[in-house]
Amino acid sequence: MQRSRIAGFDFGLAGMGVLVVVLGFSSATFAVLGGKVASVAADQSRMKASLKVTSNGLFQVHELQTDTGNVVREFVSPDGTVFGVAWTGNQMPDYSQLLGRYTDAINKAAQSRKEHRAPLTIQQPGFVFSAFGHMRFFTGRAYIPGLVPAGVTVEEIR
């Protein structure tokens, strides 16, 4: 047996110096991370969720909650850009909906490892992602370092 062994987490992409150029999203129909605040509405519709918006002066939190207990928080900078998302619930969010094209980095990480039951962390210059849990409990967060407003610590994305 070939003893290729790619287990556990994959931080490898960061070492490859992958550059993620952040472009403005013009479409509000498909969201999200890196997109404009209007895209939150698409998530709300897709998730059939309630929406609560709070602000601490440095950023807004658009919190989506479903009747089945899934919560997604979208962190919006003063210029209206979603710079981070966090989620907790009994089911995983739809990454392709929530993270848009940043999902490609997750899929590349998945294809470069073998044991998919493990948690996943990705740290790239343009994209940080961490997800863990088990069936009936999933949580995680993702953000774009370059879009985090001044004065905001990444620990607040949760």
Partner 1 sequence: MTHPKRLVLALLPCVLLILAAACGGGGSSNSNNGGGSTVQNTLPVSVNSGISTQFAYTNGIFVSVVVCQPGTNNCVTVPNVLLDTGSTGLRLLSGTVSGIGLTTVATGSQTLTNCVQYLDNSYDWGPVATADIKLAGEVASSVPIQIIAEPGDVFPAAPSSCGGTAINTTDLFGANGILGVSFYQQDCGSACVPGTTSNGGSYYSCSTSACTLTTASLSQQLQNPIGMFSSDNNGLMLTLPTIGAGGAVSANGTLAFGVDTQSDNALGSAFVLLPNAFGNFSTTFKSTTTNVGFIDSGSSALFFLTNASTGLAGCTTFTGFYCPSSTQSLTATNQGANGGTSTVPFSVANGDNLLNSNNDVFSNLAGTGDDTTNNPPFTYFDWGLPFFFGRSVFVVLEGQSAGSQAGPYWAY
Interface residues with partner 1 (CB under 8 A)? 1-12, 47-49, 66-70, 89-97, 103, 106-107, 109-111, 113-123, 128-141, 145, 154-155, 158
Q: Looking at residue 33, what DSSP letter applies?
A: T
Q: Across the strands, what pairs with 81?
A: 36
For partner 1, give the closer residue by CB, 80 or 112: 112
Contacts of 112 (CB under 8 A, 6+ apart): 6, 10, 12, 13
| Least distance (Å) between residue 82 CB and partner 1 | 18
For partner 1, give the closer residue by CB, 12 or 126: 12
C-beta separation of 53 from 70 below 8 A: no
| Least distance (Å) between residue 16 CB and partner 1 | 12
| Least distance (Å) between residue 86 CB and partner 1 | 8
| Least distance (Å) between residue 46 CB and partner 1 | 9
Contacts of 132 (CB under 8 A, 6+ apart): 119, 138, 139, 140
Sign of the Cα torsion 150, 152, 153, 158 reads: negative
Nearest to 105 by CA among 43, 24, 31, 13: 13
Tokens of 67: 């009747």
| Least distance (Å) between residue 140 CB and partner 1 | 7
C-beta separation of 25 from 33 below 8 A: no
For partner 1, give the closer residue by CB, 80 or 119: 119
For partner 1, give the closer residue by CB, 80 or 155: 155
For partner 1, give the closer residue by CB, 24 or 116: 116
